[in-house]
Amino acid sequence: MNPIAQPSHAPEETNSESAENEISFVDTKYLCVGIVDIVNSTKITANIGNSEDVAMYYSIFINTMASIARNFGAEVVKNVGDSVIFFFPRTSDTSSDKTAFRDVLRCGLTMGVAHISMNEKYKDHHLPPISYRISSDYGKIEVAKSGPSKVVDVFGSTVNICAKINSSAPLNGLIIGGDLFQIVKGYHESSPTSFIIKKMGSYSTEGSRTHSYPLYSVTSLSKLAIPTILVPPESGIKRQTLAGQTLEKGAQKFNVMLIDDEPDMIITYKSFLHSEGYNVDAFSNSQEALRHFAQVNQSYYNLVIMDIRMPHLNGLQLYNRMKAINSSVRILFVSALDAVEELVSILPDIRRNSIIKKPVEKDHFVRSVQLAISQ
């Protein structure tokens, strides 16, 4: 992706009402900016060939990323070819609004997880899978209005650096610059269960002297709340909502609790459920799951899906404690153990079709969930 060039000088007239200026600079702010950029899009779209399929390929990506950004309080300013650029207005206050900066990280992590649902959609349209990189940083932003429609645009060194460091991000992963790290570092230390932030090299710029700008990768440490994917209706993917809110699928509303100590399994199961329109709250710590289950309304969850072999509380212990809280809760087990007959004999409400054997196949998993909810 070509970085955005900063104008060499400001226009002679900066009046935003002037119709003569193609662009008018209206404000200078210190904010977080983000960029998400497709990997190898030129080669991929050249191989697709058909213009309608190329349009679908870009549409799913751009609409999904824009929707996620907006749901975390960002303003999408433009897309440049195969990338989307956005900024976070609420990050102007670095001293008090901690939530705004956490949302910057949550937004990037959610975008990363979104490739699972998007690739399901690409598969449905017989399109190649997508990978991309996400970068964010904080700094001085020049805000402008572009063209007769006066669409908001952003320029400046922070935008340029964010574009340049994007290539250093892992596939479907988030990287942040050193200036943003200095802000979120304090928040991270006060709430260490939220994110894993690791130094991963630096970006060197040439000027009067060589300057090495530190870069950091961000991943989710909170296995109990892997970000819920947010996608727009126009992308063709079933619409999601933020974790904890109810999701509609036609006239039905189905909430599912998912418990597994393996993050990769959580991501896989969530992608299966998201593609069918379920709202999912995911936990990798069974004790945290139990605490949450005890706090919500007893009728909130239509189904609980859990692994059997887990630390802290295993599936059998968790089953008994949840049943003590709500005897009517519906539970599915997912396990690699060959213990169907044993579970059926010792757990009165468990049937053979209440146990899904690993490795899990998507169609069987979805049918089992549908059956469990309908019973």
Average pLDDT on 118-146 reads 86
Summarize pLDDT for 58-84 with one digit per residue, the tens: 888 988 888 888 878 888 887 666 889
Residue 349 has pLDDT above 60, yes or no: yes
Architecture of domain 241-374: 3-Layer(aba) Sandwich (3.40)
Which residues make Cβ contacts (< 8 Å) with residue 343, sequence separation at least 6?
308, 316, 333, 350, 355
344 contacts 352 by C-beta, under 8 angstroms:
yes
Summarize pLDDT for 258-300 with one digit per residue, the tens: 999 888 888 889 888 988 889 999 998 999 999 889 888 888 8
Residue 63 sits at φ, ψ, to 5 deg, of: -65, -40
Higher-pLDDT residue of 331 and 245 is 331
Residue 90 has pLDDT above 60, yes or no: yes
- CA dihedral (105, 202, 92, 25) positive or negative: negative
Which residues make Cβ contacts (< 8 Å) with residue 342, sequence separation at least 6?
none
The H or E element containing residue 135 is strand 132-146
Higher-pLDDT residue of 342 and 88 is 88
Residue entry with tokens 């937004």: 107
Residue 154 has pLDDT above 80, yes or no: no
pTM for the full predicted model: 0.55
Helix (H, G, I), strand (E, B), or coil: what is residue 134?
strand
- CA dihedral (174, 262, 65, 51) positive or negative: positive
Higher-pLDDT residue of 107 and 4 is 107
Q: First and final CA of the chain: distance in angstroms?
A: 51
CATH of domain 23-222: 3.30.70.1230
- Domain segments of the chain: what residues? 23-222, 241-374
Tokens at 22, concatenated: 């193609």
Whole-number Å distance between alpha carbons of 289 and 282: 8
Residue 373 DSSP label: H
